[in-house]
Each structure stands twice: as C-alpha cells, then as structure tokens.
Chain A
Amino acid sequence: MQFPIIVTNTETVPGRQIVEFYGVVTGNSVRAKHVGRDIMAGLKNLVGGELKGYTELLQESRQEAAGRMVEQAQSMGANAVVNLRFATSSIAQGAAELFAYGTAVRVE
C-alpha cells in the first residue's frame, strides 16, 4: 500500500509537527467473492492453509478503501492522515465491507 501523502497509524507523524487538523476522513469498499474464486477456495478448504484468492481480494478492497480515504484527505488540503484504523464487517452473504478511517492533518 503506497499513498501520495503520509499515512500512519500512530497519533503523530514521527519526526514531524502537526500544525492543523481537518477532521475524520473515511473510505469504504464492499466486495463480493466471485464464483470462480469461491469454488477454488472451497477446494482449498479441504486441505486447509492459505486461501490466496481471498487474501488478494481483501488486499485489493482494503487498498481501494484506504485510497478513497486518502483522496478525501487530499481534497480537504491535508498532507497526511494519522491514526489510521481498519475495520471489516460482513454485511451480506458472501460480501464484506472493508472500511478505513483516520484523521486528516497538515504537518509542517
């Protein structure tokens, strides 16, 4: 995950001073697994271990959610997002919401 601005999950940006707060920024992404992946994962479920299809799926959607959050921060004029948090919730059968939120700030 790489972003055009600084993103941290600490309350500060290490080594920098926060000069202005813009408030909470959020981004989400709801994804469903497609059937092909589901069948492959079903087979993989027999022997256990990593389900690569699902790992990738969640990675992509988390990336997208965080990307939206960063876009929102940039449109506010922020140059960093601090205290990033991730949340996942199952909202429907076979679909999951990936949610990222943080505080948009300006650092010097």
Chain B
Amino acid sequence: MSPESIEVLISLLFPLVLLIGTYLIGTLLERRHFTDLRAREEHFRGFPAITFENLPAGWEATSSDVVQGSVVVSLDYFKRFIAALRALVGGRVKSYEPLLDRARREANLRMIEDATSRGFHAVINVRLETSRMASARGDGKGTAGIEILAYGTAIRLASPPS
C-alpha cells in the first residue's frame, strides 16, 4: 500500500473507532449507573420526598432546612452523533431521554441523601431545575454539559414515621 492510501485509511478509521469505542464505554457506564440508581432508590423507598408546598395533614414539623443535590452530565460521542443526525429529520431524540432521566434521578437521590445524612424525616416542596452549561469554545457553540438541580425543604417530624 502506498503511504497516501494508509493516510486516508487512518483518517477514515479514526472517527469510526472513536464512535464504536465511545458507544461501548458509554453504554456500559449507562447500564452501570441505572443499576446503581435502582439499588439506591430501593434503599430510600418509603422516605417521603414530595412536591407539596404545605405539610400533609397530621404532620408536625419541629425543624427545617433547605437540602439539595445536583449533577452535571453529558452524552457520549456516539449518541451526540446520533442526536445530530436525528436533528436533520426531526422527531423523538431517544439518545437524550435516558441521559436526562438518570440525571434527574441522581440529583433527586443526592438531595435525599443530603436530607437523611442530616437526620431529616422528609422533604417537601421538591423542585427540579435544568440548565445547560455552554462550552468554553471560542465560537460559543456546543454544550459542555447539562446540570440538573433538585432542591427542597427538609423537615424533622415531631413523631417520625417508624
């Protein structure tokens, strides 16, 4: 093979290897994260984190403080590529859905962990917020990551649920 053809081969092969490599690693990491999320959600089942602003009837709070959890996530290279292709024809961008789903669940769990580690019994008025972090690239395009913030008011109850 001539040096030129090898060069062409490499320039074609590199993006392909990158796509396949990031797809495999990204998928593995995502699967692991979902397993971890399910285990932690199971652990905190029964801990009330609710979106009501007011205390449900019968609850008597003794103290309260704000608690929060946040996470910044990004898509892998392969899924960004797929999302960009999808944007050409429009429609449901499936590659972003699991990403945002796991980010919200992660932020929510971190908030609950913040509350339980400080001895609170419940969180009320839970709010979820999403914001995009722009990348520092010169042209101002591109997204460095998406931040999900979960926050709420944690309360201690006079008669904690057993």
Contact = CB atoms under 8 A, between A and B. Distances in A.
Interface of A: 1-3, 6-11, 13-15, 32-33, 38, 41, 44-52, 54-55, 58-59, 62, 84, 86, 88, 90, 93-94, 96
Contacts of A11: 53
Given A6-B64, A10-B125, A10-B153, A49 B30 contact: yes
B161 to A, nearest CB: 16
Contacts, number: 134
B64 A14 contact: yes
B72 A9 contact: no
Nearest to A88: B131
Interface residues of B, number: 53
A6 B137 CA distance: 40
A94 to B, nearest CB: 3
Contacts of A8: 64-66, 125, 153
Interface of B, helix, strand, loop or mixed by DSSP:
strand
Interface of B: 18, 22, 25-26, 29-30, 33, 53-55, 60-68, 70-77, 79, 99, 106, 114, 118, 124-125, 127, 129, 131-138, 140, 144-145, 147, 149, 151-153, 155
Contacts of A13: 64
Nearest to B72: A54
Contacts of A9: 66, 125, 127, 151-153
B65 A49 contact: no
Given A10-B124, A45-B74, A84-B66, 20 more contacts: A6-B63, A6-B64, A9-B125, A14-B61, A33-B136, A38-B144, A46-B76, A48-B29, A49-B30, A51-B72, A51-B74, A54-B145, A58-B72, A62-B70, A88-B129, A93-B136, A93-B138, A93-B140, A94-B136, A96-B134
Contacts of A96: 133-134
A84 B152 CA distance: 9
A55 B155 contact: no
B68 to A, nearest CB: 6
A48 B138 contact: no
A1 to B, nearest CB: 6
A15 B136 contact: no
